[in-house]
Structures are given as C-alpha cells and as structure tokens.
Amino acid sequence: QDIVEGKIVEIPVYDFVSHSRKSETVTVYPADVVLFEGILAFYMQEIRDMFQMKLFVDTDSDTRLSRRVLRDISERQRDLEQVLTQYITFVKPAFEEFCLPTKKYADVIIPRGVDNLVAINLIVQHIQDILNGGQSKRQNGYRSLYKTDCLDFNRSEE
C-alpha cells in the first residue's frame, strides 16, 4: 500500500540458498509506473485491488521446469535430484492449486512469456501512453484487440 501511495519503501531480500531473509533490503522509490511481480501476486484480493493492470505470464510446464533446473543448479547449489524431487512434490502441485487459478484475474494473459515480443511491445506502448499522460486514441488503453495470437484478454467475470 505504501508503494501505491508514493512512499519510499524498504523491501527485504530473500536468500534462496539459506531459505531465509538477508539483513539487506532494496529501496523502492516513488514512480509513475510500478511493476509488481510474483507467483502469488493475484492470490489475495486486497493486493489485486491495488493494481491498475494485471498481467499473467503463461509459460508451459516443460519450460518452467527446465528454467528451474538450470537456475537451481547454478544459483542455488542444488543437484538435479533435489530440484526434481522438490518440483514434483511441492512446486508443481502448489502452482496448480494456488497460482494457476489466479490467471482468471489477469487483464492480459501473455502466452510464451519473454518470447512473445508482440505482447511485450504492446505492454511497453501502453506504459509509455500512461507516462505521456494519455491513451493515444485507444479505448481503455487498447485498440480494438480482444483476442490475438499474442494476447488473450480475459473478458470473463470472476
């Protein structure tokens, strides 16, 4: 809430190797546009309600697993067996129970994640429009796009 109100905020840093918070923090300064990310970002309604635009980056499970394996081995000093056991036992079931259902709250669903340059460019353009103080002849920030190859605008109610 402090970030939304334009206050300077100290955010704790998590250490994935030791599974605990570090003593250091990251300072977040007020800005016209704030990007907030996290796998549970849409889980709590009071948090969701603070967002003006909600994006869900939709990546297939094979890609998520391969990225996790590479990251956890190189950055978190885990071996392949540990990564796969954790993924099968905890990560995948938790994603399916807690993260995936929140997709319905997204205003924009981005398939293929970072590989979807068309979607990324549209979002960048929308943010630039906000920063420039207008919507540049678009209705609600979007041209008449509702479904395209790159974006799936979730039109359903909860």
In the chain, domain spans = 1-31
Q: What is the residue-averaged pLDDT of the chain?
A: 85
Tokens read off for 19: 């599974």
Query: In this predicted model, what pLDDT tens digit does every residue of 66-100 receive, in sequence order?
Result: 999 999 999 999 999 999 999 999 999 999 999 99
3-state secondary structure of 13: strand
Nearest to 36 by CA among 72, 1, 76: 1
Residues with Cβ within 8 Å of residue 2, at least 6 apart in sequence: 9
Q: Which residues of the chain have pLDDT under 50?
A: 136-158
Nearest to 142 by CA among 125, 154, 157: 125
Q: What is the pLDDT of residue 135?
A: 53
Asked if residues 18 and 28 have their Cβ atoms less than 8 Å apart, the reply is no
Strand runs (DSSP E) across the chain, as ranges?
9-15, 20-28, 55-58, 108-111
pTM exceeds 0.95, yes or no = no
Q: What is the pLDDT of residue 69?
A: 98
